[in-house]
Each structure stands twice: as structure tokens, then as C-alpha cells.
Chains A and B, each alone.
Chain A
Amino acid sequence: MATPTAAPSDHIEETEGDITYIRTDKDLPPVAIIDRSPITTRHKIIFGIIALLGAIAWAIIAFFRGETVNAVWFVIAAICTYVIGFRFYARLIEMKIVRPRDDTATPAELFENATDYMPTDRRVLYGHHFAAIAGAGPLVGPVLAMQMGYLPGTIWIIIGAVFAGCVQDYLVLSISVRRRGRSLGQMARDELGAIGGAAAIIGVLVIMVILLAVLALVVVGALAESPWGVFSIAMTIPIAIFMGIYLRFLRPGRVSEVSLIGVVLLLLAVISGGWVAETSWGADWFTLSKVALSWCIIIYGFCASVLPVWLLLAPRDYLSTFMKVGTIALLAIGILLARPIMDAPAISQFATKGNGPVFAGSLFPFLFITIACGALSGFHSLISSGTTPKLLEKESQMRLIGYGGMLTESFVAIMALITAAILNQHLYFVMNAPAAQTGSTAQTAAEYANGLGLSGSPITPAEVTQAATDVGEKSIVSRTGGAPTLAFGMSEVLHQVFGGTSLKAFWYHFAIMFEALFILTTVDAGTRVARFMLSDGLGNLGGPLKKLQNPSWRVGAWICSVIVVAAWGGILLMGVTDPLGGINTLFPLFGIANQLLAAIALTVVTVVVIKRGLLKWAWIPAIPLFWDLTVTLTASWQKIFSADPKLGYWKQHSICQAAKEAGKTCLTAKTPADVDKIVRNTFIQGTLSIVFASLVVIVFAAGVMVALRAIRGGGKPLTEDEPVPSRIFAPSGLIPTQAEREVQKQWDALPKSHAKSVGTGAH
């Protein structure tokens, strides 16, 4: 990519009071505003009230007992904390570390091509960024974490986002913007050297594979033995293909129009799924076992990654964006109108004992591993570097997009937590404990849940069956994976506000469809991305493999797709046939993988901050880094070395290995074939744990060495690009300030031919 040569430019600063206007061309209005105005009294009062309200909400959540805490307090505590975090902590990070320069052109302005580089209005980019980072993760994690009660989860989702997740997203975005939107892997190589970089790139790829496998496992858990769900999800494929053909041949560019048609068809698919599931042929065709369903998803994933983008991937993405924004807004409205009451305890018995059925291990470290995406998600660093920087108009908008985008995701996680916490707790464990413990029938599951010693009145088998009938399912026992529980909670909330009891089944399947839709979108986009990473990585080895880097070599693309799909498909099949339960053993691996990716991202960020000479402020990324490393390495350590057969992969492995040799059964295995499976699965899971942890330790060690060299004053220089003066203007925050409005007016008054951002709003 050639660097555009900038016309010789001026640098003119004019200061009026507390505000400095910077021009890069004497004939153009200012391109940057530096506002040093102190906080006004009015703002002080407003933020004071918000802080007070937040504190009251937190006090009610934390100290009020008696199972009558209203969900609205969670929403208030979250929003107030976000506002304070965004206004003060994010602003501190902006002033001390990011130091945005609006007189410098962003990659989007420099390389503008109206395709992938395009200065985009900040509010639109915020929507894009949010749609790219939010998915099933923040919805599923908090649901599973509910086994420990609502309080630990709430604290970590909100505080973790403010001090860790948002900081990571914001800082990764800021360093990528100064490097022409380079990806995390490339930045790791540039800043940490060859070994650290290679470990980071391999780590990203392996972690990606685990992510795809576990997300697919969540879908399988939600759809198995559910003809209604399978039908409506299967219909999304022809709907997407229809949309693709419509956009390609009938009306190119009418994206909203076709998405609206797609959403209507999707709703029809959900409604007609109920009718189809009632018929004998529908039940026959669409009742699929977990294994059959896994094969369907594997074949789908492969096809989606080699078919043309316009046919399946792009239209699915439109549909998924539409549904994501729409449904999350709907859920927020639903919670505010229905104002449900918490049924879960603040802290459950499983938090300390560490013997919970949903996932093994005690609160520290496994709660933080399980919540993952809602508080700190390593995968966001892949979007904050790469995609979003190429669309950013102004550096000062990064706070809104990077930090603000993650706050919104955290809010989604809080809503997911609420939907799980309002459910009857007996029902929660009936749905989420593995089949080996619930015994799979309403009778045994009710007995199992009543034996857990939960508070509240015991559940009867008839109530379990009734709950299933209400949502149009035969059974809800051991519907693990989090998605069915979330869908159940969503139907509880939404039917109270929209439509009454008769629509409960519709809302349940709507929610299942909505989760499966964006998990499958992640699966096909993720398979494609991982395929490119693989071919790029293999191509770097040189020799005949070099040919793989040519994206138009179809055979190479097919081979790499097969490898990627085989990798996650293998883990998926391993998970669905796992005698130990599948999701409860694999989800921690997913969480660890995600958090370890965050450790890689935070290492890169911290090194860059130290290299820039900002050692004094390095604690801002270093605190989340050390916390994250402590959590993930402790979890990895326990998963690898724990002598507790509920927890340690290798302990399970050795027990079953011994049982196999003695010809006996072990743990939850009932047949010799089960014993063999456990021996094999625990070996793979244990090996993956070791690989993840080692890769991250290598990256971190490389980071420490580079940082120490930088502190001593040696080492390689930063790889930041030379700044090029900007020639466009755009406001920084969501709402433009008075000064920004005035400058915008000057730009709008220019004749149309002048250089200005075409992506900027309708003024």
C-alpha cells in the first residue's frame, strides 16, 4: 500500500479562552478542537447525582436480602457506573495514554477508497463496532455464571468492563489506528519480536478454533431434539440465499429493504416452526440428535466458508445485525416494563464449595473465566485492530467507539444475567445440570434439583413438564449450554410485556433462533477468518507453502478450510459425545482461551505504553493484565494439575486410564466405550490447556523483556506511522459540543467539491 503524499500543509493554532482550534490548511476551517474548559458546576451536580444514584443501587443489590431485589436496580447500577466510568476513567486514559490528535489523519482518511477504508460517522461506526463485538458470548457466559448467585457476576460484569474490558478494547483500537489498522498478530510481531509474535499468531489461531467449537456446541445444545428450533434455523439458510440473490441480481444496494424482507421471513419461519413441529413429518424430519446436528453444522460451516461471500455470508450478516440490535433493544424495554424480581440468591452455596453442576471449580478463578465476554473479551482485540480503525474518522472518537462499545456489551451481559436470575432456581438447575446428574426425565430431574438444598419451594415433576409445554418443547431437562436458559428467561420477560402467555412459546423460539443466528454467523465468518490466518501462517514458512498466501488459489483455500473445520468440528463432536457432560468441561476451556487472548492483547498494549515513555501510566493496562494472568493461569493450573476429579483434566484422565486397564468404569462413564471417550477427551482438553497457557507465558515473557529494555533506554523503537495532517473535521463525542457545532457549520458552508468526509452525518 503506497503512502499518499500529503500536500505541504500548515499548522495554525488559534486559542480562544480554553479552546484551541487547529487548522492544517489556512483556507479550510479547523480540523481539530482542543477543549480545556474545566467541568461546569451544572455537570458537577449532574454527575454527583448519577454517582449517588449508582451507589444506592449498588447498596440495594449488595446488601438487601430477602429475595425481593428488583431487576431495575441492576440496570440503574450498571448505567450509573458506566456513565461515571466513561466520563472520568476513560477520560483519564484518553488524556494520559491515548492522547488523540485530531489534526492527524486516521487510516480511514488516508487510504479512503469507499470500500474497506471509509471515514464513517462516529454514531454509525459505534453501531458497526458493537454489532461486530457482541454475540452469543456475553449472553451465555452470565447465564452459566448464575450458578454462583447474582452478586459476583454483577460485580465482575460491571467493574470488569470499566477497568479491564473497555480499557483493552480502547487501547488496542488506539494503537492499531496509529499503525494503519494493523491486526493484533502483526502488532505483536512488530512490538514483541519474532518469537513473541509467532506465539501470539499461533495462539490467536488455536483460540479461534476453540471459540468456534464451543459456540457450535451451544447451538447444538439449544437445538437438539427440538424440531421447532431446527426448522426455524434451517430456514435461515434459504432466507439468506434469497437475500443474497436479491442483492446481487434484483436490487443491488437495497440493504435495509432486503433485511426487512429477511426479518419478516424469519419471523414467519419461527411461527411456522410451531406448526411444522406439530406435524408427524415435521417431527420426523427435524428432530435431530446431538451428533446428527453437529454434522449438519460442520457441513454448513465448511460450505459457508467456501461459497461466495455474497450468497450466504453477507446476507446472514445483515440479518444478524438487524436482529442483534433489535432484540437487545426489545429485551431492555421488556426488563424495564416488566421489572421482574430476582429469584436467585446473591451468593449461592456453589460459590465457595466449587462443586456446582453447571461448571466445576470455585468462584476464584472460574467465575471470571465463565463470564468472559461480558467483562473482558480477548476476541474484541481482533475487531478493535483491523476492521474498526479503517472506518474511524477522528482519533478522539475512539473513546466513544472502543470504550463505549464495550460498555454496551457489558450492559447486554447484565441483561442476560437478569434473565437467568429471575428464573425459578430449581428450574435453572433442571435445565443446566448435565444429563448424567438429572437423569433426563422430569421425575429424576425434579428429585435432583430438590436435593441440591436450594432456597424456595421444591419443584414437582409436573411443574418441570409444564414449563417445557409452555415453551413448546417436549422436555427442558438438561438443556445445557446457556442458550435455552436465556431463551426461557427472555420468554418470561417478553411474554409479560408483549402478547401474554399464548406467545411464550413464540418468544422462546424467537430467542433460540436469534442466538443460533448469530452464533452461526460467527461460525461461518470465523471459519473464513481462521482459514486466512492458517494459509497466511503456513505461507510464511516458505517453500511450496508460499502458494497458500495467494487468495485466488481455490485448492489452497479448500484445503485450509477443511483443516479449520476439521479442527473445530472434531472438538465439537468430542463435546457432544462427552460422557462427562460436554459444555461443563469445554466452556471453561473457551473462557480460558478468550481470557488468554486478552492477556496477549493487554501485553502488547502495555509494552507499547511503556515504549512510548509513559511508564507512570502503564498501570492502566497493567492492572487488568496482571489480574487476567492471575485468573487464567490459576484456572489453567487447576485444570491441568488439580487432584479433584471434578476439576482436573489429567486427574480425570488418569482415573479413567486406570479404570480402562482394570476393565472397570469410572466417573460418570457407564460403558467401556464411555471410559475410552473420557480417556481421549481429557487428553485433548488437558493438552489444549497446556498449549494455551504456554503460548501466553511466552508472549508475556517476550513482553516483559521488551518492556525492560525500553525502561533501560534501549531496544527497538516504536513502529508507529508518521503522522499525516488531517483535512476533515468531525465531532468527538456522541453529542457535539457548542464549539464543534460552530466548526461543523463552517465546514458545511464550504462548496461541495471541497475535501470533507462524505461519511459524515446528515446535517
Chain B
Amino acid sequence: MGRAAEIARQIGWYWGTLMGDNHYRRYIEHRRRTHPGESILSEREYWRMRHDATESNPNPRCC
């Protein structure tokens, strides 16, 4: 049971990271580490910032 739960957690983690669910959490950790004590964007603002960045620097998709 413990092992099955662990595997499910790993798959969930993989999928979440691939699609972007935990990107905001990573951003918080990153800010805390590199700019401790400074303001942190809310999740809504973070995704706005991400999409604005893609706006001016789109990722190509291949054939």
C-alpha cells in the first residue's frame, strides 16, 4: 500500500511539473531563497507575468 501510494505520488509530481501545476510553488521557493524578505507575487500575478513573458518570447513548436 505504501509503495503504491509512493508511485502514485511520483506520477502526480511528474505530471504536475510537466504541465506546470507546481511552477508557482517553485517560484515562491526561488524568491525566498534569492530575495528573502522581499514581496512575492500572488499566484494570479505570477501566471500573468509568465504569460506576458511568453507574449514577447514565444516558444516554437515543431512540426
Contact = CB atoms under 8 A, between A and B. Distances in A.
B44 interface: yes
Contacts of B19: 255-256, 259, 318, 321-322
Given A114-B23, A124-B17, A314-B54, A252 B60 contact: no
A252 B53 contact: no
Contact of A308 (B14, B49, B51, B62): B51
A758 B27 CA distance: 9
A114 B50 CA distance: 9
Interface residues of B, number: 40
A255 B21 contact: yes
A715 to B, nearest CB: 31
A382 interface: yes
A309 B63 contact: no
Contacts of A647: none
A532 B60 CA distance: 11
Nearest to A4: B34
Interface string B1-44: 00000000110011111111101101101110110000000011
A112 B31 CA distance: 10
A419 interface: no
Contact of B56 (A124, A132, A138, A551): A551
Nearest to A528: B58
Interface in A243-262: 247-248, 252-257, 259
A229 interface: no
Given A114-B30, A379-B62, A755-B33, A248 B17 contact: no
B24 A253 contact: yes
A115 B18 CA distance: 14
Given A121-B17, A124-B14, A253-B47, A114 B62 contact: no
Given A253-B23, A755-B33, A377 B62 contact: yes
A758 B29 contact: yes
A440 B32 CA distance: 66
Interface stretch (A49-57, A519-527, A573-581): A519-527
Given A115-B49, A253-B47, A380 B13 contact: no
A759 interface: yes
Is chain B's binding surface mostly helix, strand, loop or mixed? helix
Nearest to B9: A762
Contacts of B23: 114, 118, 253
Interface in A313-371: 313-314, 317-318, 320-322
Interface string A506-538: 000000000000100110011011001000000
A374 B61 CA distance: 15
Given A114-B26, A118-B26, A256 B60 contact: no
A525 B63 contact: no
A410 to B, nearest CB: 14
A526 B26 contact: no
Interface in A115-164: 115-116, 118, 120-121, 123-124, 127-128, 132-138
A310 interface: yes
A382 B59 CA distance: 9
Q: State the main secondary structure of chain A at its contact with B.
A: helix
Contact of A115 (B44, B53, B61, B63): B53
A314 B26 contact: no
Nearest to B15: A256
Nearest to A531: B58
A183 to B, nearest CB: 10
A379 B33 CA distance: 37
Nearest to A112: B30
Contact of A383 (B9, B50, B62): B62
Given A253-B23, A255-B20, A759-B17, A380 B62 contact: yes
Contacts of B27: 114-115
Given A253-B21, A253-B47, A255-B20, A116 B53 contact: yes
Given A755-B33, A762-B13, A252 B43 contact: yes
B24 to A, nearest CB: 5
A758 B26 contact: yes
B30 A252 contact: no
Contact of B61 (A114, A132, A310, A552): A132
A414 to B, nearest CB: 17
A215 interface: yes
Contacts of B16: 256
Contacts of B34: 112
A759 B26 contact: yes
A128 B62 contact: no
A133 B63 CA distance: 7
A761 interface: yes
B20 A253 contact: yes
Pick the most buried of B46, B49, B54: most chain A CB atoms within 10 A of its CB: B54
A442 B62 CA distance: 36
Interface in A559-585: none
Interface string A725-763: 000000000000000000000000000010100110110
A211 interface: yes
Contacts of A259: 19
A137 B47 contact: no
Given A526-B61, A758-B26, A758-B33, 18 more contacts: A114-B23, A114-B27, A124-B14, A124-B17, A127-B14, A132-B61, A132-B62, A255-B20, A320-B61, A382-B60, A383-B60, A383-B62, A525-B58, A525-B61, A532-B57, A552-B56, A755-B33, A759-B17
7 contacts: A124-B18, A248-B48, A253-B43, A255-B20, A310-B51, A758-B26, A759-B17
Instruction: Give the top 10 A-B pairs by smallest Cβ distance, nearest first.
Output: A137-B63, A114-B27, A762-B13, A310-B51, A114-B30, A551-B56, A255-B20, A525-B61, A528-B58, A255-B19
